[in-house]
Structure 1
Amino acid sequence: MAAYAALISVMNIIEQIQLHPHPPISLDQFQIEPLVKNVTFFLDFLECYSQLISSQDTYHLLESRIANTTYAVQDIIESHIVDQIHGANIGSDKEFYNGLTEVIQEMDFIKKEVMQMKENNMGLFLHKDSSTVDIGPLRSRFTGQNATVGFDDVMEEMMDMLTGRQSTRQIIPIVGMGGIGKTTLARNLYGSRLIVRHFDMLAWATISQEYSMRGILLEILLCIKSQESKETYSAMREDELGLVLHKTLIGRRYLIIMDDMWSIEAWELVKFFFPDNNNGSRIIVTTRLRIVASQLTDSCGIEMSFLDDDQSWNLLCRNVFGEQDCPNLELEEIGKEIAKSCKGLPLSIVVIGGLLAKSERTREYWEYVLENISSIVNLEDNERCLRILNMSYDHLSVHLKPCFLYLGSVFPEDDKIRVSWLIKLWVAEGFLKPKSGKSMELVAEEYLKDLIERNLVLVHTRGSSGKIKFCIIHDLLRDLCLRQAEKEKFVCVFTRNNHSSLDARQIETQHRICIHRGKWEEELDIPRMSHAVQSASLTRSMICDFKEVLPSLNMRLLRVLKSNDRALHYGDIYSIEAIFQLVNSRYLAFRVDWMQISKYLSSLHHIWNLQTLIVYGAWNTIAPPEIWKMHQLRHIEFIMLDLPDPEMDGRDQDKIIVLENLQTLLQIRNFKCSEEVVKRIPNVKKLRLYYQDVEELSSFCLNNLCRLEKLESLGCYFAPEKEPIIRNHMLQNLDFPHSLKKLSLYRTRLHWGDMAIKIGSLPFLQVLKLESNAFCGDEWETIEGQFSNLKFLLIEGCGELRYWRTESSHFPCLEQLSLRDLYILEEIPWDIGEIPTLETIVLKYCSHSAVISAKEIVEEQLENGNEDLRVRVYFWKHYQLENLVTTPNFQVEIH
């Protein structure tokens, strides 16, 4: 929702100017007060009323006007900021204040119209009358069977839950994204002969987003009492209908299906009318929201998953050919690709199958369908497909809509979205609403979790600590985002279908532009796009993988520049110097192709609001001293960055700028962790240090690391000329904070006996990575009471390790063990297999005896009934493998 995002952004801009120690402009309090009041009023209106009256044309018109005036406020304020920093005489302060006054007046006019609209809609939905809803002969709708291809295992599991011996009334949720087959599964259960015979009474109620207690009760009663007409109950009050239902169900074994539930409130309205007869009655609830399922019951219920390739092809065949097989091998080959392209979503497969069933069966036509899956699904059976998907978007809270549209639009199709990037971008865009006591990153994580709970975003990969590392979005939902983003002018995404038609006039008002490389890259008209983009003077965000169309100084208001391919090069097309003229930027991520950029960083402090600076390819870069005055900085990432000591002024001790927002520092060379530095970065969570060609570590004050009480992830890498002296320095100077959750050490050359002193007692440590002689010596013996929360352990390149002695209780939470390049390790300790939480052991290029011990461990665990433990082994080709047969629990790969 563009209006909401713009309003939150304006509030953030005003707050940043007011809180900045050296703001680039001043704001007149007599203008700020009415502006903030208007923005607050509009935010309240959108948050409280958008879902109630979003179907009205008047609402959409007002929303569009709110967005446009709010964008105008941003343009006026941020243009003035740029002019002041660059020293331009384009407009005077008087013109700035006059422009702001005009926009505030326009907001006042819109505010009056909004108030009138609120008054006209007073009481809307407070008295929903379901008596006008056509219930119809519901029972007859579900007596037929639907295709259950891919649901066989789930059907069997559900049958067991429905007919099991547990006598108390059970609620069984079926959870999954729209179109994944929840209702189809429920319908097939409802019409199953076994289920019909098992239960005395069956009823179905479709809840959906708009529901009423009266409507739910009527629908259920008319299923159970099919001989009755709706008029029989028309004069009854809600409580009377509930009493009739309760009396009807008393003593009977019943099955009630409540389809498409969006909130727990629907259940709360009617739950008292479903008696627990202690005879095995069941209630099935289908929902897209995990939170609803968890509120209904403690049991996990059923979570629907996507179909695999074989299941997808079988379902497509069923819809195209009925009970027959595909008659043509040529079509079968293409058909399997079509089924695979539907990404396991039954809704897509059924829509495509319906189209193919009534179309010509030629290779040419099926190839056309394969190339145009998304557009065909969105056009064919339009009412059904778009309605199902749009419901998920329409039901989103207003604060989640910009985040969802952004996630689904600015990343390429089929992209695995790195969560850390996504969160940084959400924060930089400025449409996250601050929450007291929480960082913006934490707010963003909560938003993402909410979208995942709603089955709009899927977890793809978790990191070693268990946090979500990558997420994905289904193609159909991405198409929904693209359509909605275009409709609201929220993001302009250059696609195969629109890139040739977009011209300068359409681009010049766009606030966000995305251009991605992809499988259709060769079809792009790069010169045309480049020309069109140059007119985008109001653009705030540019996410682009083509150096030819990257922004010039014309994009003076740019906040976000992200180029994550090898697209941004120093040269004739675009100057790195131009990047550091983008003084309004909050997020800069680009590649410099191994060049030195230190001379350009001297103007870094002019980017007054910079939050994230990510530079790919830059070695030997020296940051300017002014970086310590950039209080908005949140994330700094370089391949190698030299960070100078902060300038100390004895007369100005009370005016030290603390970088309270700074959370990430990667990768800092020869970092001096003095008391002065620690005071300035108290909230750093992720720190990676690299020490090169140093003989004396004491001057770097690594003992002060323990004062970074918010530090969660630390990497220490050493490349010393005299390695033997490092251990003594490590023992004397390296002191880790207790807050650490992840620790990576490289060439620290500590002894295994030092582990208990330095690391083992860290109470929250979940991930430990020891690489390239981080620890030395031939024997490691662990002790009781340490590594209490460790989940992931990597030992790589600690080539002296021969004996490892431990007990299962020494690693009570270990889930993954990874060993690499341990050529003389005799065996993995036998007790490792007894760790109840252990899921995976990975050995890469380790000794043959260590591999044999891993094989014996997994075999013993299988004999003891533990089928969850998996071992993966990697060998070089020249190794002789004997008695290493691959099994489901013991996988061998040769490289």
Structure 2
Amino acid sequence: MRSLKRRILALTRKRETYGIGNLSEPPREGGNVSSLRVRELRRARSIDQEELVVGLEDDAKILLEKLLADDDGDRKRYMISIFGMGGLGKTALARKLYNSGNVKRRFEYRAWTYVSQEYKTRDILMRIIRSLGVVSAEETEKMRMYAEEELEVYLYSRLQGKRYLVVVDDIWEREAWDSLKRALPCNSNGNRVIITTRIKAVAEGVDERVYAHKLRFLTFEESWKLFEQKAFRNMPCGSVNEDLNKMGKEMVRKCSGLPLAIVVLAGLLSRKRPSEWTDMCACLWRRLKDNSIHISTVFDLSFKEMQHELKLCFLYLSIFPEDYKIDVEKLIHLLVAEGFAQEDDEMTMEDTARYYIEELIDRCLVKAEVIGRRGKVLSCRVHDLLRDVAIKKAKELNFVHVYNEKQTSSSSSNYRREVVHQLMNSDYLCDRRVNKQMRSFLFFGERKGVTLESYVDAITLKLNLLRVLNLGGLQFVCKGSISLSLPDVIGELIHLRYLGIAHTGLRCLPATISNLQILQTLDASGYSNKFEQTTDLSNLTSLRHLMGRFTGKLMIGKAVNLQTLRCISSYSWSILKHEFLQNLRELEINDSKPVNRTAPVDWASFSKLTHLRVLKLEVEAFTLTSKSEEAVKVMGLVFPSLESLTLVGSELEEDLMPALQKLPRLEDLVLKDCQWPEGNMRIRAQGFGLLRKFELINVTLHELQIDEEAMPSLMELNLRPNGRPRKVMIPGRLRAFAQGFYITCE
């Protein structure tokens, strides 16, 4: 009997270790992260659901009428202010209005920007310009060099004569709006501006023509509806009994109608088995403040329940500035470099890091901001109140130090990470003490005229054990040098896993960079960076992600770990040993001027890239090389994993459609500025079975025909060919979401 009990206890421990629950119960937190299918199902469920805006329906109706009202005889710019305490749902309501179909149809231009307590007008203007979506990525990069006044003039000219809607989220003082409004024309086109703020005086005082709308707390019925939608989503139908409902309602009442507290509580309980709700309820009762459940209380419990690596990932979010739009790809690279994500038999380190981010989103601790293919989160954001508790926890654990020029108080000398959000003074690094404990130094923002040698020298001298170094946004100048290059001493940082030098104006990399043999990510992206000389990275065999404008010769050797390569010239691609790139997931080949040499690109060069998911080609000469009939037969074998394909500026020698429409996993297809052979394009029945997005921009065509049963999964169709084709035929079912030019629908 004792032996049997020991075996039962051992099995119970193993179930908890590996996250194995009863078939009728939801998955439990803390288990193995290797179940890819469970992860994909959870992501599809959490992302595909429309954003829940419970209890704000009446508010949305009132404000939508204000947005769409056609004022008789007075169509000057009108403002709407949404105000209330943090966590009430101001941003969620503004987002619901912003994404309304009627609003999209009424306003030619729409833009969204965040402000926060510490703001720079120049950054706000840049965010509005990017959000408008009328400027190319290359032009946007050029604008990084513009002064604030130049951005003002540019934005004003873009909006002049247009009907626009601009949302300015999280304003803390009236001066922030005053510094911005000069760039927004006050014409008679019926323009609207929405602001959100916690401060009533700001809401009512921003303009004479303003409607100030105060958000209320949720009623109990609304609170319970919101809680139900999130807390019970993992539970099978019929498993929510009366006792569970009773406990849930008791906890919801203590949230006092604050939506943020409700969703964070629901996110915590959604990961609990029904049998564990009693213990969780008791824990909350012991931590009540003023007879209410506070956000900090729920966060503390949620944080305590997390596995160690997930705790580190959430604390890491405290490095980003307030209201910062966090690029998930960059965050993943940083988490991997910090050593917070490990690989296993099924998942790479990057997959594991993404899993952790999705876990935080599932817990309602992080908000998915931009969502791409298959529910993939591209950017995220942390609510101010949750960021505050994360910062507090990070300070308690000495996890990170945030440098602020306005606060000169001394900080602990044994922190492992330092982050700079505001501009660094000229003596910042030179005067600091050596901190041998520091492993990460990150800069966020922009600063012009930084002397390259002094900063890099100080870093290598005093912080030579760094794993992560991000200098992106510092506009470097170099004394007595025509070609701006990182100093040779960068090669002394031999422990680096991540080197971020995006938007720094660099032109070349020194030979000593070959010393960084465990470097995983080199981010040298940005329009101001252009590497026209030979760049030799052959010794960097640990490299996993390489981004930059490498218009000169690029040598990467046996890069068996490389997953991301953006971007490389066609000539450099032609001389690489492609058999060593079998783990490549994303590839961009770009011959945008100027490039030293070019070479034809053909399908054969991709035959070894069986894991490739994203391919972008901006090249002139592009061929199949083999006969089209043969290409059609083997296309699924050459690209078994390809999900996104973009062709820009190519003169195609043969019709690619018979081959492309056989790609088994293709979801996005973009053809832009291409010369199509003979000007005839046909997409046949059953072609592109999984395609969700098809863009045809400035492609020379005489005829375009999409058969009735082609593209059965299509969700987005944008047809803007060059000139006016003689014949365009698309199925009637595609008409509802077709954008651009088409003639007949059959």
Which TM-score band applies after superposition, normalised by the shorter structure? 0.5 to 0.7
Does the 8 Å CA contact 1:673/1:705 hold for their aligned counterparts? no
Counterpart residue identity of residue 248, structure 2: M
Whole-angstrom CA distance in 2 between matches of 1:581 and 1:191: 58
Q: Which of 498, 501, 520 is the aligned partner of 2:408?
A: 501
Q: Answer yes or no: is 1:540 the counterpart of 2:439.
A: yes
Does the 8 Å CA contact 1:706/1:738 hold for their aligned counterparts? no
Does the 8 Å CA contact 1:730/1:750 hold for their aligned counterparts? no
Q: Answer yes or no: is 1:638 the counterpart of 2:548.
A: yes
| Structure 1 position 787, deviation (Å) | 0.6
Q: How does 1:181-192 map to 2 (within 5 A)?
A: 187-188=220-221
Q: Which of 685, 701, 705 is the aligned partner of 1:805?
A: 705
Counterpart residue identity of residue 690, structure 2: N
Q: How does 1:622-661 map to 2 (within 5 A)?
A: 622=533, 625=536, 627-643=537-553, 658-661=558-561
Q: Answer yes or no: is 1:585 the counterpart of 2:496.
A: yes
| Structure 1 position 490, deviation (Å) | 0.5
Specify whether residues 618 and 580 from structure 1 end up closer, same or farther in structure 2 by C-alpha distance, changes over 3 A only: farther
- The residue number in structure 2 matching 1:513 is 418
- The residue number in structure 1 matching 2:162 is none
Whole-angstrom CA distance in 1 between matches of 2:223 and 2:346: 49
- The residue number in structure 1 matching 2:309 is 399
Counterpart residue identity of residue 515, structure 1: V
Does the 8 Å CA contact 1:710/1:739 hold for their aligned counterparts? yes
SS in structure 1 opposite 2:605? helix
Q: Which of 761, 768, 786 is the aligned partner of 2:662?
A: 761
- The residue number in structure 2 matching 1:662 is 562
- The residue number in structure 2 matching 1:117 is none
| Structure 1 position 421, deviation (Å) | 0.4
Specify whether residues 839 and 635 from structure 1 end up closer, same or farther in structure 2 by C-alpha distance, changes over 3 A only: farther
Whole-angstrom CA distance in 2 between matches of 1:785 and 1:191: 46
SS in structure 2 opposite 1:768? strand
- The residue number in structure 2 matching 1:743 is 645
SS in structure 1 opposite 2:248? strand
Unmatched 5+ residue regions in structure 1? 1-43, 49-147, 155-176, 193-203, 209-215, 222-254, 263-283, 297-378, 648-657, 721-725, 861-895
Q: How does 1:194-233 map to 2 (within 5 A)?
A: none
Q: Which of 526, 535, 541 is the aligned partner of 2:425?
A: 526
| Structure 1 position 533, deviation (Å) | 4.5
- The residue number in structure 1 matching 2:176 is none
Does the 8 Å CA contact 2:566/2:588 hold for their aligned counterparts? yes
Q: Answer yes or no: is 1:841 the counterpart of 2:734.
A: no
Q: How does 1:135-146 map to 2 (within 5 A)?
A: none
| Structure 1 position 744, deviation (Å) | 1.2
Specify whether residues 747 and 189 from structure 1 end up closer, same or farther in structure 2 by C-alpha distance, changes over 3 A only: closer
Whole-angstrom CA distance in 1 between matches of 2:500 and 2:264: 43
SS in structure 2 opposite 1:289? helix
Q: Which of 596, 619, 634 is the aligned partner of 1:718?
A: 619
Q: Which of 341, 350, 353 is the aligned partner of 1:432?
A: 341
SS in structure 1 opposite 2:294? helix
Specify whether residues 391 and 190 from structure 1 end up closer, same or farther in structure 2 by C-alpha distance, changes over 3 A only: closer
Does the 8 Å CA contact 1:179/1:389 hold for their aligned counterparts? no
Whole-angstrom CA distance in 1 between matches of 2:739 and 2:273: 38
Does the 8 Å CA contact 1:291/1:453 hold for their aligned counterparts? no
Whole-angstrom CA distance in 2 between matches of 1:395 and 1:839: 46
Counterpart residue identity of residue 367, structure 2: L
Deviations 1:352-406 (A, max 9, x none): xxxxxxxxxxxxxxxxxxxxxxxxxxx9999835324433333323221110111
Q: How does 1:118-267 map to 2 (within 5 A)?
A: 150=56, 187-188=220-221, 256=246, 258-259=248-249
Whole-angstrom CA distance in 2 between matches of 1:447 and 1:741: 23
Whole-angstrom CA distance in 2 between matches of 1:542 and 1:383: 37
Specify whether residues 827 and 534 from structure 1 end up closer, same or farther in structure 2 by C-alpha distance, changes over 3 A only: farther
- The residue number in structure 2 matching 1:788 is 689
Counterpart residue identity of residue 500, structure 1: Q
Q: TM-score, normalised by structure 2?
A: 0.57
- The residue number in structure 2 matching 1:570 is 478
Deviations 1:630-678 (A, max 9, x none): 221101111125455677xxxxxxxxxx533210111111346679712
| Structure 1 position 542, deviation (Å) | 1.2
Whole-angstrom CA distance in 2 between matches of 1:668 and 1:293: 44
| Structure 1 position 479, deviation (Å) | 1.2
Whole-angstrom CA distance in 2 between matches of 1:414 and 1:565: 18
Counterpart residue identity of residue 555, structure 1: L
Counterpart residue identity of residue 492, structure 1: H
Does the 8 Å CA contact 1:750/1:774 hold for their aligned counterparts? yes
SS in structure 2 opposite 1:797? strand
Deviations 1:280-323 (A, max 9, x none): xxxx9995228938999xxxxxxxxxxxxxxxxxxxxxxxxxxx
Does the 8 Å CA contact 1:618/1:639 hold for their aligned counterparts? yes
Whole-angstrom CA distance in 2 between matches of 1:681 and 1:805: 37
| Structure 1 position 739, deviation (Å) | 2.1
Counterpart residue identity of residue 588, structure 2: R
Whole-angstrom CA distance in 1 between matches of 2:561 and 2:473: 28
Whole-angstrom CA distance in 2 between matches of 1:514 and 1:819: 45
Kindly report the root-mean-square deviation, in angstroms, between the aligned alpha carbons of the 2 structures.
4.6
Q: Answer yes or no: is 1:387 the counterpart of 2:287.
A: no
Deviations 1:158-204 (A, max 9, x none): xxxxxxxxxxxxxxxxxxx98779x9757347999xxxxxxxxxxx9
| Structure 1 position 785, deviation (Å) | 2.1
SS in structure 1 opposite 2:619? strand
Does the 8 Å CA contact 1:457/1:472 hold for their aligned counterparts? yes
Counterpart residue identity of residue 639, structure 2: P
Whole-angstrom CA distance in 1 between matches of 2:429 and 2:707: 63
Specify whether residues 149 and 783 from structure 1 end up closer, same or farther in structure 2 by C-alpha distance, changes over 3 A only: closer
Q: Which of 529, 533, 541 is the aligned partner of 1:618?
A: 529
Percent identity between matched residues is: 23
Q: Which of 556, 560, 563 is the aligned partner of 2:464?
A: 556
Whole-angstrom CA distance in 1 between matches of 2:640 and 2:651: 22
SS in structure 1 opposite 2:568? strand
SS in structure 1 opposite 2:738? strand
Deviations 1:680-707 (A, max 9, x none): 221011111135576863xx67513122
Number of residue pairs matched?
A: 491
Whole-angstrom CA distance in 2 between matches of 1:742 and 1:390: 41
- The residue number in structure 1 matching 2:270 is 292
Q: Which of 447, 460, 465 is the aligned partner of 2:369?
A: 460
Q: TM-score, normalised by structure 1?
A: 0.48
Does the 8 Å CA contact 2:535/2:552 hold for their aligned counterparts? no
Deviation larger for 543-552 or 682-691: 543-552
Whole-angstrom CA distance in 2 between matches of 1:754 and 1:530: 55
Does the 8 Å CA contact 1:568/1:592 hold for their aligned counterparts? no
Counterpart residue identity of residue 729, structure 2: P
Does the 8 Å CA contact 2:573/2:589 hold for their aligned counterparts? no
Specify whether residues 750 and 381 from structure 1 end up closer, same or farther in structure 2 by C-alpha distance, changes over 3 A only: farther
Specify whether residues 179 and 830 from structure 1 end up closer, same or farther in structure 2 by C-alpha distance, changes over 3 A only: same
SS in structure 2 opposite 1:288? helix
Counterpart residue identity of residue 779, structure 1: N
SS in structure 2 opposite 1:258? helix
